[in-house]
């Protein structure tokens, strides 16, 4: 039996590969510290769990409208109004089975075979794969360290041609934690308008921002930019609800309506009880969100200071999300490895610390460390990485 071409060309997620190896070592009795996590280490706030349980007890255990419950759409609309002063109608919102599935559905309805999507690197691993699954071609443009891993309007201008359909902006970014300023977004928006491009704005880490950084959505810069932007967001990272699978897209009615039609033939609807949980997430107290954010910020500050003292490591301090994206190319060289991938593998073998190699994010000189784990484990992990680099110099 031959698999379909689209399946054969899929590459497995590097994040999952290293996590699998770490689990294997753990199962064999090794004391492994995994810094690969892409999810908050806190449980979902109790009020959200209670709301989901109550909904089930009250009999809301049936199909919902494909695009999501009206009440949840209303809660999302209120959130956009409060946070970004953006106005959306229910027909401009679709609730999906996670932000990942919102993105997947979006690419399926906007791309024809051969259409190009500009994907800034370092990128979240699923963007290029999802574009390819929709018959599109990801065009990778590099966000350099000199420019804090961000792309420029000039780069968009160089990459854009008659086949280019959209640009992905992910701010705050996974893996780099960088945040585009309002001015930068405006300049990128101008370039997208000039070349007639849609903007896919993935804002899933919106609530996890630190220091004096602030989040601006490119959709709020002007009404004309809003018209060409599809905002992707969800409750996974903000409310520690990764397993609930609730994300959404907000954008032009024509696109949202096509996505809703597709959802009606694929998922039918996101899980009803999870939608009730998400209503509580947005309408209930936001204190737990702020508590989690504060915990992440304190870990970031402490771990960042420790990390930059490791020989051969450099790192631009992230402003958001929960990852440190460090350049480890010198550390790899110093310890006799010809790639950062090999360094990461040796570190896992010898010191039992699992980092995610940057190659999976299109950035082979870097490693990603997630600080969605306790400070004690983070400090121990840094001690081990330091020991490894000093021992093997």
Residue ranges that bind ligand PLP, judged by CB under 6 A: 38, 98-100, 124, 170, 174, 202, 204, 234, 236, 242, 247
Q: Which is nearer to ligand PLP, 157 or 243 (CB)?
A: 243
Nearer to ligand PLP, 119 or 353 (CB): 119
Measured in degrees and rounded to the nearest 5, phi and psi for residue 297 equal -65, -40
Give the whole-angstrom CA distance, residue 350 versus residue 312: 18
CB of 127 to ligand PLP, least distance (A): 8
The three-class DSSP label of residue 270 is: coil
Closer residue to ligand PLP, CB minimum distance, 322 or 343: 322
Instruction: Pick between residue 299 and residue 337 the one whose CB is nearest to ligand PLP.
Output: 299
Dihedrals phi, psi of 120, to nearest 5 degrees? -70, 135
Residue nearest to ligand PLP (CB): 98
Residue 115 burial by Cβ neighbours in a 10 Å radius (0-12, 13-18, 19+): middle
How far apart are CB 170 and ligand PLP at their closest, in Å?
A: 5
Helices (H), 160-199: 182-194
Q: Tell me how far, at minimum, the Cβ of 386 lies from ligand PLP, in Å.
A: 28
- 168 beta partners: 200
Q: Give me the half-sphere count of Cα atoms (radius 13 Å) on the Cβ side of residue 187.
A: 12
Shortest approach of ligand PLP to residue 158 CB, angstroms?
Answer: 24
87 close to 323: Cβ distance less than 8 angstroms: no
Distances, alpha carbon 377 to alpha carbons 248, 261, 299, 370, 374, in Å: 33, 46, 11, 11, 5
By DSSP bridging, strand 314-315 and strand 356-357 are unpaired
Q: Which residues of 327-347 are buried (b: 16+ CB within 10 A; e: fewer)?
A: bbbebbebbebeebbebbbbb
Pairing outcome for strands 323-327 and 366-370:
antiparallel
Q: How far is the CB of 204 from ligand PLP (least distance, A)?
A: 4
Minimum CB separation of residue 101 from ligand PLP in Å reads 6
Question: CB–CB of 96/144 below 8 Å?
Answer: no
Nearer to ligand PLP, 51 or 96 (CB): 96
Q: Give 36 or 288: the residue with its C-beta nearer to ligand PLP.
A: 36
Shortest reach from residue 128's CB to ligand PLP, in Å: 13
What does the alpha-carbon distance between residue 319 and residue 334 come to, in Å, rounded to a whole number? 29
Q: How far is the CB of 207 from ligand PLP (least distance, A)?
A: 13
CB 149, min distance to ligand PLP, A: 13
Structure tokens at 347: 């570190």
How far from each other are the two terminal CA atoms of the chain, in whole angstroms?
50
- At closest approach, how far in Å is the CB of 392 from ligand PLP? 32
Answer yes or no: are the C-beta atoms of 176 and 315 closer than 8 Å.
no
CB-wise, 142 or 350, nearer to ligand PLP?
142
Choose between 100 and 228: whose C-beta lies nearer to ligand PLP: 100
If the CB atoms of residues 247 and 277 are measured against ligand PLP, the closer one turns out to be 247
Nearer to ligand PLP, 68 or 247 (CB): 247
Nearer to ligand PLP, 199 or 332 (CB): 199
Q: Which residues contact 326 (CB under 8 A, 6 or more apart)?
A: 307, 313, 314, 315, 366, 367, 369
Q: Which two tokens stand for residue 10?
A: 């899929």
Smallest distance, ligand PLP to C-beta of residue 312, A: 27
């Amino acid at each position: 039996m031959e698999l379909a071409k689209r399946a054969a060309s899929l590459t497995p997620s590097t994040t999952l590969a290293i996590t699998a190896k770490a689990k294997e070592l753990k199962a064999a009795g090794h004391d492994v510290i995994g810094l690969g996590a892409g999810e908050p280490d806190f449980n979902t706030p109790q009020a959200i769990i209670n709301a989901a349980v109550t909904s089930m007890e009250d009999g809301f255990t049936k199909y919902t409208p494909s695009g999501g419950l009206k009440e949840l759409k209303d809660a999302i609309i209120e959130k956009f109004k409060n946070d970004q002063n953006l106005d959306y109608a229910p027909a401009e919102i679709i609730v999906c089975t996670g932000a990942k599935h919102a993105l997947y559905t979006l690419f399926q309805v906007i791309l024809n075979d051969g259409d190009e999507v500009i994907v800034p690197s370092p990128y979240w691993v699923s963007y290029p794969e999802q574009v390819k699954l929709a018959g599109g071609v990801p065009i990778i443009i590099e966000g350099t360290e000199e420019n804090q891993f961000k792309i420029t309007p000039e780069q968009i201008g160089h990459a854009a041609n008659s086949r280019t359909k959209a640009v992905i902006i992910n701010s705050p970014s996974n893996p780099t934690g960088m945040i585009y300023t309002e001015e930068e977004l405006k300049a990128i928006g101008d370039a997208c308008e000039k070349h007639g491009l849609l903007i896919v704005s993935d804002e899933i880490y919106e609530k996890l921002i630190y220091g004096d950084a602030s989040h601006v959505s490119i959709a709020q810069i002007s009404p004309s930019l809003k018209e060409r932007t599809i905002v992707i967001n969800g409750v996974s990272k903000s409310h520690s609800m990764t397993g609930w699978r609730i994300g959404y897209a907000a954008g032009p009615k024509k696109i949202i309506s096509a996505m809703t039609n597709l959802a009606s033939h694929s998922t039918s609807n996101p899980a009803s009880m999870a939608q009730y949980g998400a209503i509580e997430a947005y309408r209930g107290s936001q204190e737990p969100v702020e508590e989690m954010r504060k915990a992440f910020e304190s870990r970031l500050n402490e771990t960042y200071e420790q990390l930059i003292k490791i020989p051969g490591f450099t790192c631009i301090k992230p402003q958001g999300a929960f990852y440190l994206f460090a350049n480890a190319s010198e550390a790899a060289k110093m310890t006799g490895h010809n790639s950062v991938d090999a360094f990461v593998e040796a570190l896992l073998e010898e010191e039992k610390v699992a980092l995610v190699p940057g190659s999976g994010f299109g950035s082979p000189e870097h490693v990603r460390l997630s600080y969605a784990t306790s400070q004690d484990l983070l400090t121990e992990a840094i001690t081990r990485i330091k020991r490894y680099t000093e021992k093997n110099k």
